[in-house]
A = this chain, B = another copy of it.
Amino acid sequence: MTDEAIQRPGGRTARVRTAVLAATLQELGERGYAGMSLEGVAQRAGVHKTTVYRRWATKANLLLDAIATLAESEIPVPDTGDFVEDMRAFARTIAATITGQDGGAVVRGLFLGATESAAVRDFLHGFWATRFAQVRPLVQRAVERGELPADTDADEVIKHLGAPLYYRLLVTADGITLADADRAADAAVAAARAGVFARHPPSRPKR
């Protein structure tokens, strides 16, 4: 709970709501959704736990209200007159949001379970290194056949192939169809051909 939240006008009910939702984001960021409790949120917000139970009843309601409050804020959508510039600026906005204070707490709280643990994170790095090494020849053969630029970073090709599928599963909670898998593959192919995954990429993707 910040001083700003306490002093915001709107009466006691609005102040309590602001304090509880701010505390929810902080608890999410520190403990994750699974580790978060209504009691912990109440304590951090400096309100009685029955207040939180009466108004929100469940952790899920608390989470949804906190996200909805964040979602009310408009995000800056670039309009530079150039698609590459717009896309790059927007990608940087996403990156800053999902690694930042409030949005980052929500993302971590929603999606992180075991990746909160340093031991599991280290293990994952090893696991993925092994996986990428297994798949790397698929890309290297395409380079040898002259289908891709010689300095293509195979691991980046593989990551960009898998990312849209995990994204559907974990982030947007959508299903995955064969058409989705094909689209993910085709997108990585087009980007690889355009030199995006070159170790020294062109300053803009080749047309």
Task: List A residues at the B interface (Cβ < 8 Å).
Answer: 32-35, 60, 63-64, 67-68, 71, 74-75, 77-79, 81, 83-84, 86-88, 90-92, 94-95, 98-99, 107, 109-115, 117, 119-121, 123-125, 127-128, 130-131, 134-135, 137-139, 141-142, 145, 147-148, 156, 159-176, 178, 180-194, 196-197, 201, 204-207
Complex CA gap A50/B121 in Å reads 27
Given known A60-B120, A94-B162, A119-B64, contact A189–B87 (CB-CB < 8 A): yes
CB distance from A190 to the nearest CB of B (A): 4
Closest residue of chain B to A135 (Cβ to Cβ) is B77
Which residue from B32, B67, B84, B137 sits with its C-beta under 8 Å from A127? B67
Do the beta carbons of B201 and A186 come within 8 Å of each other? yes
The interface residues of chain A, by DSSP majority, are classed as helix
Contacts of A77 in B (CB 8 A): 134-135, 137-138
Kindly report how many copies of this chain are found in the complex they form together: 2
Which residue from B90, B165, B189 sits with its C-beta under 8 Å from A185? B90
Contacts of A84 in B (CB 8 A): 185-186, 189
Which residue from B60, B88, B123, B191 sits with its C-beta under 8 Å from A191? B191
Given known A75-B131, A130-B71, A134-B75, contact A187–B197 (CB-CB < 8 A): yes
Do the beta carbons of B91 and A161 come within 8 Å of each other? yes
Complex CA gap A190/B197 in Å reads 11
Contacts of A167 in B (CB 8 A): 159, 162-163, 166-167
